[in-house]
Structure 1
Amino acid sequence: MKTQNKSIYDVIISGAGPVGLFLACELALAKCSVLILEKAENPQSPLKQLPFGIRGLSAPTIEALYRRGLLEELELHKQLKNPHQNAKEGAQRQGGHFAGIPFLAVNVDTSQWAYRLPCSTQTNLISEMQEIETVLTRRAESLNVQIRRGHAITDFNQTADEVAVQSGDQSFKAKWLVGCDGSRSVVRKIAGFEFAGTEPEFTGYSVKADIANPEKLSPGRNVTARGMYMQSQPGYVLIQDFDGGAFHHSGNPITLEHIQEVLRRVSNTDVTISTLHIATTWTDRARQTTTYRNRRVLLAGDAAHIHSPLGGQGLNLGLGDAMNLGWKLAATINDKATDGLLDTYYTERHPIGAQVLDWSRAQVAIMKPDPHARALNAIFRDLINTREGATYFAGRVWGINIHYHLGGIHPLVGHSVPNFEFEDGTTIGELMRDGHWTLLDFDKNVLIKTLATEYGNQINFISGQVKEQFGLSVVLIRPDGIIAWASDNEAHENSFRQAIAFWITGVTSEAIDRC
């Protein structure tokens, strides 16, 4: 017998991973009612814990967590150094890598990022999936998000006004459904989203084992004639076997004998595995949905795009989706914007996802065990060891170069707001925790304040002096921390009205182009 849940939620989210949880927090912060349905009954898994669950957070993610008061709850990065650090670099700190080729932090020219202030958050730090999910679950529950575990979505139907969701013998209703349910997304499949892309070149292995002779494996990342392997700590090995993804898709069990055979072949050693504790496989299949929305169904995170975990950008990409979608969907639900605002979720985030997929494909292309790839690899090594090269790769890996093409004439429009520091030591990031729009007025412009008050509690108006304001007069900041409009002169009334008209009411896309 089917059980009908009579409550109609604003949003049902499929998936209680970091992306679903963060999206739920953003929606609940805007007073939306949210239900998360998660198929797994237990959130605990060894694959979410170190070393398997290790994740590198990039600058946009760190800023997002900071602006919501969540960064201070992460502890692991204070205790650990990056276990993927290449020991062969010795005392020189590795800033990251591209296809296993490290770039050194000392080679990065940070002066090229003129708007990054001394009080900016870190460009990268280490965490783990379990820690991130624990922090986000705690925040979601404090905001009255309902999380039901052991509830996989089995079907749904949408009308012009709502989505009816089925989970086993229970049914739920919501105004919107968002699939944050990973690479095998049920929501994506039922809704019929096209998932276009490329097939894999390799099967990747993450292995925890007892190795009888670990000294036979070189430390750090090692690109060989047959693939790649990395032993970042004793007993924890990553392997890439360029089999076209055949083993991953075969459905065959991952046995000690198989892992040992692959590791010996890729490393060209007679290394011996005495005990296999746990192992999982993955590939570099790269796919992205051609749209992120089907009427009242939206996608975010791996449900919308998948790629190789090389470079660790998947989690950051998904959390960026959540930060972008959250305030737009909330504004739509709360009748504070037209439907056109929600369409900008796709136009802004799809290109970012496409860039990450190509970044992943490019890394795979120069790691393949053939002469052409080795030639490209050698050239990339030369480039990444230059100051210009290291700075370029750092900007991409750390996410500093990410921006949205929003129009407008000021160079900061579409970029993350600098972490302006006021005279009392407070930063703008600390003043954005309520998820509202923010209007910074550095010149105490009475007209601007008057215009801002027309939008009531949608905009936090802040007036005051900061230690470095880059010659700016007024800055309008979206809830996700992106600058929607800025002026380095006394603000023009019409220009300001047009910017607010577009972003807060979604009147016309032409408005922002004229700003």
Structure 2
Amino acid sequence: MYDVIISGAGPIGLFLACELRAYGVRTVVLERREAIDPTLKAGAVSGRGADILTRRGVVDLLGDLPSIADLMKGRKPGAGSLQAKTARDGAMPRGHFAGLWILRGGSSTLSAFVLAPQQRIEEGLEGRARSTGAEIRRGHAVEAIDQDDAGVTVSVSGPDGPYELRAQWLVGCDGGRSVVRKTAGFDFPGLDGIMTAYQAMADFDDPEFAPMGWHRMPRGLMVHGPHPQRVLVAEFDGPPADRNAPITREELEAAVRRVSETSVTVTAVHSVTRFTDNTRQASTYRRDRVLLAGDAAHVHPPFGGQGLHLGLGDAINLGWKLAATVRGWAPADLLDTYSAERHPVAERVLHNTRAQVALLRPGPRVDALRDIFTMLAETPEANRLLTDLMGELDVRYGGTGDHPLTGLYCPDLTLKTAAGDTRVADLSRRAGALLLDLSDRADVRDAVRPWADRVEVVTGVASSDDGEAGELPDALLVRPDGHVAWAGSDLAGLGEAVRRWFGEPAAPAR
């Protein structure tokens, strides 16, 4: 019997498999597709998603990545393009809100973008998952589930016919139309869409038919670039009649012509997808031994590229907690904190994507709203708030103590250790918990020694050029997902925090 079955070999399911295998959890991933989905999806990851991929070393698996300048070379940027905004301001924005390149600040100390298509990220994650011992079965689809007190039985259709698999836990990472969510009885409340949109990689008889960038047109929204073949068009006159119907070249061409107000011809379609702006979220992410992550737990329009980093945040939060439960050292309610912590984060994303759709609609009334919104967003406080909101950079989970860092994502500090300089990002590659002893205190190290099998102690001095070193406590207890569970300069609360997140020690404290 497996420990965990994951349904879905997209980026979230594959990342979760890597997290579980870091703890030796017996994991199998079932995916109905025979190969990675070639459909155009996220072209980059920003914000917390970029941090997560960097801290787990996934970016190193992707090879040489292009820059925005590489993609824009030889192209004329429109007024609504990232390149034009960068030229005007002298610095590249960290993202956009409803096509407004207004995001500059924020809390992350790592890369603003990982400019890699989702398929490339999936290739890297699948290679890592397989190399660490995860079993990945492509062409195998979950059809039904039956759970009891001891585990979950999954009915699977595979290339050689139907069969059953048994595991302690099942995680649905199988997308917005999740079979796991439906068969396990999760509710999925939310709002229906009002928009029909197409995103495509295509060839055009006139590659310069529209300037690069975001353009609100009288008939809808037009986005061209940053890749010259990439186009997105949206019309706000209702959702698609049938989202599952094949998309023809003629259908895409007609939509592009209507919105762009040109007679451009689509000469070839390399990839195209149709979507709407429905927003839905499961009321809870756990029903007994079945859990949800990524789009299986929440759906929203892709504006701002939040879907991928939201799902990665789910996976990195769930992975170590599920592994601890399988391994038997998790506190009784640890797994319940997954839904409690991640549900509000996705709820906020659904809320801001609804606001973005409202700001993207055509018409002079919305023009006025966008003008006022842009003016307000240019203020430093509002800009930081929006940047953190879009990048999931200000998420604070529960923790022990009242230090300002408690619950937040740990800064990527440079530490001077006896073994040489290292960074928190480098230490995080092992996917374990950390006790950062920043003042070389034996009593701090002794306090967590009984948990040596779960918490790695690193003694070092934070570099003075980090900008945050003067505000740091003597020690930080960092969860495997990168969030600070405890921070302080006296030991009050440290023992409580270690037990809260990592259970009772394997051996009695001495």
Give TM-score, length-normalised by structure 2. 0.89
Question: 2:47 aligned to 59, 73, 76, which one?
Answer: 59
* Aligned match for 2:62, one of 62, 67, 74: 74
Distance 2:443 2:376 in 1: 51
Question: Aligned pair 1:290/2:283, yes or no?
Answer: yes
Judge which range, 199-208 or 310-319, deviates more: 199-208
1:40 aligns with: 33
Alpha-carbon contact 1:123-1:398 (below 8 Å) kept: no
Instruction: Give the match for residue 503 of structure 1.
Output: 501
CA distance in 2: counterparts of 1:104 and 1:450, whole angstroms? 44
**Aligned-pair CA distance for 1:486:** 0.4
Contact 1:155/1:166 (<8 A) preserved: yes
Over residues 377-412 of structure 1, what are the superposed CA-to-partner deviations in whole Å (9 max), with x where a residue is unaligned?
Answer: 221222234444433332223332222243630110
Q: Distance in 2 between matches of 1:283 and 1:334?
A: 41
Residue equivalent to 2:478: 477
Q: Cα–Cα, structure 1 residues 431 and 253, in superposed 2: closer, same or farther, change >3 Å?
A: closer
1:510 paired residue number:
none
Partner-residue secondary structure (3-state), 1:302 = helix
Which of 267, 280, 292 pairs up with 2:273?
280
Once the two structures are TM-superposed, the CA of residue 88 in structure 1 deviates from its matched residue by 3.9
Q: 1:241 to 1:482 in 2, by over 3 A?
A: same
Larger mean CA deviation between 303-312 and 397-406 belongs to 397-406
The residue correspondences of 1:83-94 to structure 2 (distance < 5 A) are: 85-89=81-85, 91-92=87-88, 93-94=92-93
Equivalent in 144, 149, 153 of residue 138 of structure 2: 149
Tell whether 2:426 aligns with 1:454.
Answer: no
Helix, strand or coil: the match of 1:210?
strand
* Among candidates 329, 347, 360, match of residue 354 of structure 1: 347
SS in structure 1 opposite 2:87? coil
Inter-partner Cα distance in structure 1 for 2:440 and 2:255: 66
How far residue 103 of structure 1 moved from its aligned partner, in angstroms, is 1.7
Amino acid at match of 2:377: I
Residues 60-84 of structure 1 deviation map (CA, whole Å, 9 limit, x = unaligned): 2233233323232233535554669
Contact 1:17 1:133 in 2 (8 A): yes
How far did residue 191 of structure 1 move? Answer: 0.4
Task: Determine the C-alpha separation between the residues in 2 that align with 1:90 and 1:179.
Answer: 40
Which residue in the other structure is 1:13 paired with? 6
* Residue 147 of structure 2 corresponds to residue 167 of structure 1: no
Q: Is the 8 A contact 1:76 1:126 kept in 2?
A: no
Counterpart residue number, 2:177: 184
Give secondary structure in 2 for the equivalent of 1:171: strand
Residue ranges of structure 2 left out of the alignment (5+ in a row): 73-79, 506-510
Q: 1:66 to 1:209 in 2, by over 3 A?
A: closer
For residues 363-512 of structure 1, what are the structure 2 equivalents within 5 Å? Answer: 363-406=356-399, 408-423=401-416, 424-468=420-464, 469=469, 470-487=471-488, 489-492=489-492, 495-505=493-503
CA contact (8 A) 2:285 2:339 kept: yes
Which residue does 2:24 correspond to in 1? 31
Whether 1:223 aligns to 2:216 is: yes
Letter in 1 for 2:238: G
Aligned position for 1:199: 192
> What whole-Å deviation, never above 9, does each CA across 1:206-247 have from its counterpart, x for those lacking one?
133332234442331101122101221444321001122134
Question: Which 4+ residue blocks in structure 1 deviate beyond 6 angstroms?
Answer: none
Show the counterpart of 1:133: 122
Is the CA contact (8 Å cut-off) linking 1:404 and 1:414 kept in structure 2? Answer: yes
The alignment status of 1:325 with 2:318, answered yes or no, reads: yes
Letter in 1 for 2:38: P
Quote the residue 2:77 is aligned against.
Answer: none
Equivalence for 1:123? 112
Return the alpha-carbon distance in structure 2 between the equivalents of residues 471 and 256 of structure 1: 57
Residue 268 of structure 1 aligns with an amino acid whose one-letter code is E
Q: Are the equivalent residues in 1 in contact too, given 2:45–2:116 (CA < 8 A)?
A: yes
Amino acid at match of 2:61: E
The SS at the match of 1:354 is helix
Q: Output the amino acid matched with 1:472.
A: P
Q: Secondary structure at the match of 1:269?
A: coil
Secondary structure of 1:40's aligned partner: coil
For 2:205, the equivalent position in structure 1 comes to: 212
Shift of 1:54: 4.1
Question: What residue ranges of structure 1 are gaps of 5+ in the alignment?
Answer: 1-7, 508-515
Deviation at 1:472, TM superposition (A): 1.0
The alpha-carbon deviation at position 277 of structure 1 amounts to: 4.4
Provide the rounded CA distance (Å) in 1 between the counterparts of 2:18 and 2:171: 14
Q: Deviations over 1:121-153 (max 9, x none)?
A: 213331111211111111111211000110000
- 1:368 to partner: Cα distance: 1.7
TM-score by length of structure 1 reads: 0.88
Cα contact 2:50–2:309 (8 A) shared by 1? no
Which residue does 2:75 correspond to in 1? none
Contact 1:124–1:398 at 8 Å: present in 2 too? no
Bigger drift between 270-279 and 341-350 goes to 270-279
Provide the residue aligned with 1:103 in structure 2: 102
Counting aligned pairs with the same residue, the percent is: 39
> Comparing 181-190 with 96-105, which one deviates more in the overlay?
96-105
More divergent stretch after superposition (406-415 vs 22-31): 406-415
State the match for 1:513 in structure 2.
none
Structure 2 CA distance for aligned equivalents of residues 203 and 312 of structure 1: 18
Report the CA distance shift for 1:66/1:279 in structure 2 as closer, same or farther (over 3 A): closer
Q: Distance in 2 between matches of 1:104 and 1:318?
A: 21
Partner secondary structure for residue 340 of structure 1: coil
Change (3 A) 1:506 1:97: farther
Offset of 1:371 from its aligned partner? 4.2
Q: Does the aligned pair in 2 maintain the 1:248–1:283 contact within 8 Å? A: no
**TM-superposition CA deviations, 1:278-324 (whole Å, max 9, x none):** 43211111100000001000000000001000000101000110000
What is the letter of the counterpart of residue 217 of structure 2?
T
- Cα distance, 1:216–1:61 mapped onto 2, change above 3 Å: closer
* Counterpart-to-counterpart distance in 2, 1:133 and 1:333: 26
AA partner of residue 478 (structure 2): I
